[in-house]
Amino acid sequence: MGTESIVVSGVTKRFTMQYHRTLKQITIAALRRQPLGETFLAVDDVSFTVRQGEAIGLMGLNGSGKSTLLKLISGVMQPDGGTVRTRGRVAGLIAAGAGFHPQLTGRDNVYLNAAILGMSEAETKRKFDQIIDFAAVGKFLDTPTGHYSSGMSARLGFAVAAFAESDIFLADEVLAVGDQPFKKKCLQRMAEIKAEGRTLFYVSHSPGSVRRMCDRALVLESGRLGFDGPVDEGIHYLKYDASDSRPEDDEIGADI
């Protein structure tokens, strides 16, 4: 067995959903003794271990807790119960343009995001041309990222994370933003990351890309871990099948 890369033990994350937004609504509800909100478990007592070099596909319906779990693994959020342990440097794209300062240029945000991921200035300079070539933001590199489209932000954010030297790479639906050539580039880069022996943790609704990219599937259901095992069985568990894959997903993955 390989070295443990990610260990999630009995992890729980709780959120409160507010029923009322304004002070007036809250006051009226309180006077009428109506509930002001509801607490729910976004992640509910989840446990699993990932070995170094495994490629994990995290699947589940919308609202099942996938993005919350990824944020817990990345350290963006802390669990209310249980523990999350990761070994080595973690990099990845949790949301398009996450961590970008809108008043800074794309160039400045590359260095800022790289520093957040733990890269030294020398390391960033060494990787800079690869990052910019991959992101293909062209003449907008020295424009404030607040003027970027969501697709441009996603491309630049993914590029920084994808070329950071890391032990664990996380990706949350990054392929949902961008045109087909860029989606294909993302999958090819993730295949390279996997081939380098790094741990890949990939959230996706696409059975085709998970089947091609991942060795193992985790399926969340209403915050709980419903399935942990072979990819094809996980897709069947979710009642996904080949017909659920978009044709372009099959085309994108064909060369990987």
Q: What is the pLDDT of residue 251?
A: 44
Distance of CA 182 to the CA centre of its chain: 17
> DSSP label at 103?
T
- Supply the pLDDT for residue 37: 63
How far are the Cα atoms of 97, 139, 141, 163 from residue 149, in angstroms, in the given order?
A: 10, 14, 13, 22
pLDDT computed for residue 30 by the predictor: 72
pLDDT computed for residue 76 by the predictor: 84
pLDDT value of residue 178:
63
Q: The tokens of 105 are what?
A: 């240029």
Q: Looking at residue 253, what is its pLDDT?
A: 45
Query: Which positions of the chain have pLDDT values less than 50?
Result: 242-245, 247-248, 250-256
164 to 45, 51, 157, 158: CA distances (angstroms): 31, 20, 11, 10
